[in-house]
Chain A
Amino acid sequence: MELTGAEIVTRCLAEEGVEFVFGYPGGAVLNIYDEIFKQSKFKHVLVRHEQAAVHAADAFARASGKVGVALVTSGPGATNAITGIATAYMDSIPVVILSGQVPTAAIGLDAFQEVDAVGITRPCVKHNFLVKDVRELASTIKKAFHIAATGRPGPVLVDIPKDVTYHKTEFAYPDTVSMRSYNPVLKGHSGQIRKAAQMLLEARRPMIYTGGGVVLGNASEQITELAKLLHYPVTNTLMGLGGYPATDRQFLGMLGMHGTYEANMAMQHCDVLLAVGARFDDRVIGNPAHFAREQRRIIHVDVDPSSISKRVKVDVPIVGDVQQVLDELLKLLKASKEKPDEAALNTWWTQIELWRSRNCLKYNRESEIIKPQYVVEKLWEVTRGDAFVTSDVGQHQMWAAQFYKFDKPRRWLNSGGLGTMGVGLPYAMGAQLAHPESTVACITGESSIQMCIQELSTCKQYRMPVKIVNLNNRYMGMVRQWQEFFYGSRYAESYMDSLPDFVKLAEAYGHVGMRIEKTADVEAALKEAFSPAMKERLVFMDFITDQTENVFPMVEGGKGLSEMILAEEL
């Protein structure tokens, strides 16, 4: 039987097992929306701005491991989606974005709501397609899902002109995809893996450094087993948190610009570094020339060959699926008669413990004014470390990363690569839909939250009981911190004036609002918000925090990883 393009779209999504489509209707996608109306295989979530549609789809993917799906109309629908797409691209998140387009005959004629979506998105997608013929629609959507989810994942956009959605053709959804130009390497080179095993066993000052690739590649179990087997220290990048249990003693905390003293020092001074699913970016190793001053041998496992030897030269590159490579590596290590040099390892751990004893995350716990770190610590306690936590971007993001100890992967959702303010609330929506019975908290700030605040309405419509932890310091905190350190305390435009009354705002949207001004009230407020009585409610907790608090340690831009500013040095 012949189906219209719009019917084909919904059938394809159903074939892919899609549960939620995040979107916003408009002229070019009306045929598709009409078919969505008629079907019941998946639910449509109506956001209040297309940016949030892509963020929520992205979060759904991060939290569930499945491909997220967003649907937007042509023109402004597509341009509004760009920030979401670029965010997903930078963090390698599998998302399929369907965008409407003006009819094929009108393309290029500056038609109403026309934009070259394929051209605009090209630098921030893994791939994109313009479907000009309805006969290619099903196979293109199949390819889009395949490309998004395999290899190094990423967003894929499918641009569908309106006439394609009403043209008809026979529908057949392909079972498999074969593309001569796209065959990601999955199996690591066994010779290289052997070399890696040998190098790891020879280490005297070993370090394991893992990133988002371990979380996305579902390799947390493997990396944990490997670290335990060898008793080697582990650090995670911002994107990699939860890849290794944070409450474990072998975990040194996050590394990088706001990493812990012990993680950064161990990274700088190790002699063998196992890097897995991480890319040595500027926020992680600081100045690459400074990093290269210390001699160390590097093993780098990544599914994307272009991530290897991009900023740092490595000795043993291994291209492949991290889970498969680690499985093979584990097999070799377990079978090996050689063991790591115990004495050397003990000396190394003694050194690490010395670094750890600097207690680099300490802050004033006696303060009557609420310290933001304290709120995150209490949040961790109250949620027993078991929440899905999203954040926006800035100081609160770093405190969340430093103080909420993630023991499991896919629990921590933030915009690591692009650093997109405004993701927190839509991320919480996506996470909540992926795990309806779980606790979802959004750690944000008064500046970030206002960038997608309209989604409080979406939360109301779909009864998403997200708990918003607003660390309200009346400043764009991270901007203010940089201005204090590097711009002579000239706080140019970083002050958030004329803030709304967040309690009333939450109430206006039909939610629960709380304002917490004293340290003594923090725990009680959190307990109330996470109590069974509030299980079905969105609670907006507005914590009035210390305006002058800064994030430490800090590696200034361009400085070396071991050149940290610590709190007590100021």
Chain B
Amino acid sequence: MRHIISLLMENEAGALSRVAGLFSARGYNIESLTVAPTEDATLSRMTIVTVGSEDVIEQIIKQLNKLIDVVKVLDLTEGSHIERELMLVKVRAAGKEREELKRMADIFRGRIIDVADLTYTIELTGTGTKLDAFLEAIDQSVILETVRTGASGIGRGDRILKV
């Protein structure tokens, strides 16, 4: 099953490699991994999307907790949560295509953030499946480049991951 694991870790050099190394050394899957400092500059927050049986997920969480730099770990998928991913898509947009792409971006609540003579760059946020749906909805041949951040997640309501 797919799990979204959020963790807070000391914002120190090498901390990311400890997490990445743990996953590769123990053969755990990483679907995506995002990391950035939090409002407290000494802490980084990481969101890892992984797939595994309940036993494997239990081990992943235990092993993450064992890393000295990791302060807190939460399996977001255990409760209600919100998941978002950011995607930037550069598409070929010339002539008639320009109108159509603008319309599709609007439908998916995307924004065109760069306009050039022959291209648009569209910004889109949502769950991974929504972003996939957008890519499927537009003409495949116009896609020039895509870049995605991987999922970030946060618990709903009172579910707070904080030190």
Which of B17, B66, B70 is A122 in contact with, Cβ under 8 Å?
B17
Say whether B68 contacts A310, CB under 8 Å. no
**A181-B9, A181-B10, A181-B69 are known contacts. Are A122 and B18 too (CB-CB below 8 A)?**
yes
Say whether A309 contacts B69, CB under 8 Å. no
Say whether A147 contacts B68, CB under 8 Å. yes
A181's closest neighbor in chain B, by CB? B71
- Report how far A119 CA is from B16 CA in the complex, Å: 12
- Report how far A181 CA is from B44 CA in the complex, Å: 13
- Report how far A293 CA is from B102 CA in the complex, Å: 62
Please name all residues of chain A whose beta carbon is closer than 8 Å to the beta carbon of B59 when the two chains form the complex. Answer: 306, 310
Say whether B17 contacts A180, CB under 8 Å. no
Q: How far does the Cβ of B46 sit from chain A's closest Cβ, in whole Å? A: 13
In this assembly, does B137 line the interface, its C-beta being within 8 Å of a C-beta of chain A? no
In this assembly, does A405 line the interface, its C-beta being within 8 Å of a C-beta of chain B? no
Q: Which residues of chain A from 127 to 175 have any CB-CB distance to chain B below 8 Å in the complex?
A: 127, 130, 147
For the residues of B in contact with A, the DSSP-based class is helix
B47-60 vs A: 1/0 string, CB under 8 Å? 00000000100110
B6-21 vs A: 1/0 string, CB under 8 Å? 0001100110011001
- Report how far A118 CA is from B68 CA in the complex, Å: 14
Which of A122, A126, A180, A181 is B21 in contact with, Cβ under 8 Å?
A122
Q: Which residues of chain A from 283 to 322 have any CB-CB distance to chain B below 8 Å in the complex?
A: 304-306, 309-310
A132's closest neighbor in chain B, by CB? B13
- Report how far A184 CA is from B21 CA in the complex, Å: 22
Q: How many of B's residues come within 8 Å of A, CB to CB?
A: 20
- Report how far A127 CA is from B62 CA in the complex, Å: 16
In this assembly, does A182 line the interface, its C-beta being within 8 Å of a C-beta of chain B? yes
Say whether B68 contacts A127, CB under 8 Å. yes
Q: How far does the Cβ of A72 sit from chain B's closest Cβ, in whole Å? A: 20
**A122-B18, A309-B55, A309-B58 are known contacts. Are A130 and B68 too (CB-CB below 8 A)?**
no
- Report how far A181 CA is from B66 CA in the complex, Å: 9
A118's closest neighbor in chain B, by CB? B14
Please name all residues of chain B whose beta carbon is closer than 8 Å to the beta carbon of A130 when the two chains form the complex. Answer: 13-14
Please name all residues of chain B whose beta carbon is closer than 8 Å to the beta carbon of A304 when the two chains form the complex. Answer: 66
A319's closest neighbor in chain B, by CB? B62
Which of B25, B62, B68 is A305 in contact with, Cβ under 8 Å?
B62
In this assembly, does A436 line the interface, its C-beta being within 8 Å of a C-beta of chain B? no
Say whether B21 contacts A123, CB under 8 Å. yes
Say whether A180 contacts B66, CB under 8 Å. no
Please name all residues of chain A whose beta carbon is closer than 8 Å to the beta carbon of B65 when the two chains form the complex. Answer: 305-306
Say whether B70 contacts A306, CB under 8 Å. no
Please name all residues of chain A whose beta carbon is closer than 8 Å to the beta carbon of B163 when the two chains form the complex. Answer: 180
Say whether A306 contacts B63, CB under 8 Å. yes
- Report how far A172 CA is from B68 CA in the complex, Å: 24
17 A–B contacts from the bound complex (CB under 8 Å): A118-B14, A122-B18, A122-B21, A126-B68, A130-B14, A181-B9, A181-B70, A181-B71, A182-B68, A305-B62, A305-B65, A305-B66, A306-B59, A306-B62, A306-B63, A306-B66, A309-B55
A313's closest neighbor in chain B, by CB? B55
A508-545 vs B: 1/0 string, CB under 8 Å? 00000000000000000000000000000000000000
- Report how far A309 CA is from B62 CA in the complex, Å: 11
- Report how far A122 CA is from B20 CA in the complex, Å: 11
- Report how far A122 CA is from B14 CA in the complex, Å: 9
Please name all residues of chain A whose beta carbon is closer than 8 Å to the beta carbon of B18 when the two chains form the complex. Answer: 122
